[in-house]
Amino acid sequence: MTTTLDTAAQRVRNTEISLAQAVNRALRDAMTADDKVVVFGEDVGVLGGVFRVTDGLTRDFGEQRCFDSPLAEAGIMGTAIGMAMYGFRPVVEMQFDAFAYPAFEQIASHLAKMRNRTRGTLPLPVVVRVPYGGGIGGVEHHSDSSEGYFAATPGLHVVTPATVSDAYTLLRAAIESDDPVIFMEPKRLYWSKDVLETSGPAIGTAAVRRQGTDATLIAYGPTVSTALEAADAAAAEGFDLEVVDLRSIVPFDDETVCESVRKTGRAVVIHEAAGFGGTGAEIAARVSERCFHWLEAPVRRVTGFDIPYPPPKLERHHLPSVDRILDVVASLQWEDR
């Protein structure tokens, strides 16, 4: 027998929410589950953040649990480290990607190293939320893709969701982790909507978003939707492309990625950050080392250009696009085409 309560619960489950709302829900549920979870950063309190991701948290949990900080990223990070040493689970927001750079010394020297420095006796369960990437018409210092800096710092986990459900489940997993997690939020996907599924993967697990046989597109965060769009467009040209969403950059899911590439024999890595020294170079190296005898062509990359982020009117030329991806796919040594 179906009750009114069952019907209401089903309606909630079937309601689409935005990725920003999924992050808010994850924070809210984590704060409800554990009173040691605290949220702070620039304008995250009464305002609810510049993207309204923390909207309502101060109202519902009070100023001791969600509060505004001074405009001092190094101070935010240092405070979070100190609070974690005394048993809290801080979740801090860097208002924009490039705003995190003043905090990087604290992150690299202390957040990433404390557990190792103390031989495991002092973990730092800190989550650093970083809205990142372009596609919103933002100017310099508001559109960087800084994941490579964090991924190259041993001791940090680096994750980035591309779907509403992953935004929720990965953030809940990050908050529960005893290791520090850099949680990269693709800001141009904040307004994307889907039905929320609250059960999901552990950190370090990639997902095959589209099955294919001809080549593998490897993407994460904001470029996953671009890769899926490119795969759909490629089908009209006779290419059957598989799309792998990394979800987690560190730890890296070699098993899922390599299983896909060994099946298709070709790989293209896609990200918004500059190509030189970027995360894609590490991914290409890992794939080449592990899949060498299965590769029909060199691993290729489609990335942002090796320049500072351009002005808003030019960003469409800088960001990986469907056309750029298709051009690279067409160059992958197709002897039978």
**Whose structure tokens read 């978003």?**
209
Written as one string, the DSSP assignment of 10-23 is HHHHT-EEEHHHHH
**What are the start-end ranges of the H helices in the chain?**
4-13, 19-33, 57-61, 73-85, 104-106, 114-117, 147-151, 164-176, 223-235, 254-264, 279-291, 315-318, 322-330
pLDDT at 337: 61
Instruction: Measure the CA–CA gap between 332 and 310, rounded to whole angstroms.
Output: 29
Low-confidence ranges of the chain (pLDDT < 50): 2-11
Q: How many CB atoms neighbour CB 79 within 10 A?
A: 17
Q: What is the pLDDT of residues 171-187, one digit of tens each?
A: 999 999 999 999 999 99
Interhelix angle 164-176/19-33, rounded to 10 degrees, is 30
**Beta pairing partners, 245:** 207, 219
| Options 142, 157, 271, 318, the catalytic residue | 142
Q: What is the pLDDT of residues 154-212, one digit of tens each?
A: 999 999 999 999 999 999 999 999 999 999 999 999 999 999 999 888 899 999 999 99
- Would residue 142 show up in a list of annotated catalytic residues for this protein? yes
pLDDT at 336: 63
* Chain length of the chain: 337
pLDDT at 139: 85
pLDDT at 11: 44
